[in-house]
Amino acid sequence: MDLANLIELAETERASRKKFALRCCMAAGCMSLNSGATKAALEQAVRDAGLEQDVEVRGVGCMRLCCQGPLVQADPDGALFEKVEATDAASVVGTIKGGETEVRRGNPDHPFFKHQLPIVLANSGRVDPDRIESYIAEEGYQALHSAMFDMTPKAVVETIVKSGLRGRGGAGYPTGLKWATVAQTPGEKKYIICNADEGDPGAFMDRSVLESDPHAVLEGMAIAAYAVGADQGFIYVRAEYPLAISRLQNAIKQAKKLGLLGSGVFESPFNFNIDLRIGAGAFVCGEETALMASVEGRRGTPRPRPPFPAESGLWECPTLINNVETFANVATIVRKGADWFAGIGTEKSKGTKVFALAGKITNTGLIEVPMGTPLRQIVEEMGGGAPGGTKIKAVQTGGPSGGCIPAEYLDTPVDYESLTKLGSIMGSGGMIVMDETTNMVDVARYFMDFCRDESCGKCIPCRAGTVQMHGLLTRIMDRKATARDLSQLEDLCDMVKHTSLCGLGQTAPNPVISTLRYFRREYEERLKPDPFAPAANGSAVKPTTGTT
């Protein structure tokens, strides 16, 4: 395989496309609504109508508006059909020849779609994730070629540095800096890891990217491997994502067959193998040192840093760990240039971010917007606000490590710094909308229950602290707590935050801290009078032992 072969393959694929196409979503959201049957019925309907010459039915990745699935979109006119059942297939196919259908038509010009700027999701909903040719037709693997043959590894790292790309896994560490550290660290053997252990409940961006455009992630990893001098990669993906796993396996096999991965990439001396590692349901494995322990087949417990993985990671070798979405940005940056990418977004947060919109909101699904987009635009215009005319109370970002942003701050632009200032975090991209019926103390307890369950047990502040905080939150919920309990909860939050070993413990108190900051009244309303509180005349009751 060389560049000429690659371009030829892309042209053959483009030339083989038919005049009309019906793209049917085959990502997990629509699949759970039985889009598999819809696709089969569409294929049958095309045959029945004798339109095989003109119409192609293509299974594609996520088309984003998950709440209206199964989704079908027609090319070239872009007509969008919602909730397409197998029985609707004939009439949908009929529309190509000007027929009528009773299927609800979606509006591709709705703000939900209009305000999106797809980079990571550019191919999602368009290419067939099961066929590498479909990806190659969209200039796939050309960025890898130009990185390998037109650029030095150093130049690739510099491009990423200049682009301003930051880690999309949540913390927002500058990606280029990480690459440069791994590249500079001496070592015979280096590793690349793609963190696809998307553990935050309520987040499904990475799953969608892997299911919709697996090759974009593979290409990004290969470019990274070339840049830092690695020859082995791992993708650590959750066992809960069987569809993503099978698409990745298939994609790796196809790329190897064409000589785009494996030994001698593009017939050069550069080798790069990618293996899958399947997680086994431990949230803490999203933390990089725990993840590496898990890749090595051990219990997923974190270790103190430094040394950072960039210096001593998998089997003590320099290791580059990036998130799925980070890798998915890389090929486009190399292809379109660092300046192009740096022109999108805000001063400190470049590019776009994919969010999973869910919860009490009309339009649930995936969105990709430029950094700095106001939260209000996302939630009200794109998301269509809360259903049933209720009022939005808060938006939760960052999962169990993040916080709740109250409705009065909806005009905040979404970027790393602004969200941190509000006591939340960007996180991996889960965005859960809560309306007036949601009890914020219960939300805090829900996340604490999660962290308590997922704490690996290695360090005491997290192991014991989360249990105690959960107990206190339950007491508050049950109206059995006093003001002392509340102040103890605050002390514990502070202690666990500052003394835990890894990110799980350090961020576990965040949901409590942020709800206390904005919704303190909800906590206080549930308190009962403290029998040991100072009496009205000022003389304190003698403290008794065992009150804590």
CB of 210: closest distance to another protein in angstroms?
10
Q: How many CB atoms lie within 10 A of CB 387?
A: 15
Q: Which of 213, 208, 198, 211 is nearest to 428 (CA)?
A: 198
Complex with another protein: residue 103 or 293, whichever CB lies closer: 293
Phi, psi for 299 (deg, rounded to 5): -60, 140
CB of 360: closest distance to another protein in angstroms?
6
Complex with another protein: residue 350 or 470, whichever CB lies closer: 470
Give me the residues that bind another protein (CB under 8 A), please.
Answer: 28-29, 31-33, 66-67, 69, 198-204, 207, 239-241, 277-283, 294-300, 356, 358-360, 364-366, 396, 399, 430, 432-434, 438, 446-447, 450, 454, 456
CB of 359: closest distance to another protein in angstroms?
4
Complex with another protein: residue 467 or 527, whichever CB lies closer: 467
| Residues 6+ away with beta carbon under 8 Å from 536 | none
Torsion of CA 267, 269, 270, 274, to 10 degrees: 70
CB of 543: closest distance to another protein in angstroms?
38
Query: How would DSSP label each residue in 439-475?
Result: -HHHHHHHHHHHHHHH--SSSHHHHHHHHHHHHHHHH
CB of 57: closest distance to another protein in angstroms?
23
Complex with another protein: residue 5 or 250, whichever CB lies closer: 250
Complex with another protein: residue 128 or 197, whichever CB lies closer: 197
| Extended beta strands in 344-501, E state | 352-359, 365-370, 392-397, 403-406, 430-435
Ramachandran sector of residue 27 (left: φ over 0; alpha: ψ -120 to 50; beta: rest):
beta
Complex with another protein: residue 153 or 233, whichever CB lies closer: 233
Q: Is 195 helix (H, G, I), strand (E, B) or coil?
A: strand
CB of 438: closest distance to another protein in angstroms?
6
Positive or negative, the CA dihedral 489, 490, 494, 497 is: positive
CB of 35: closest distance to another protein in angstroms?
12
| Residues 6+ away with beta carbon under 8 Å from 297 | none
Complex with another protein: residue 197 or 415, whichever CB lies closer: 197
Evaluate whether 4 touches 143 at the Cβ level (below 8 Å).
Answer: no
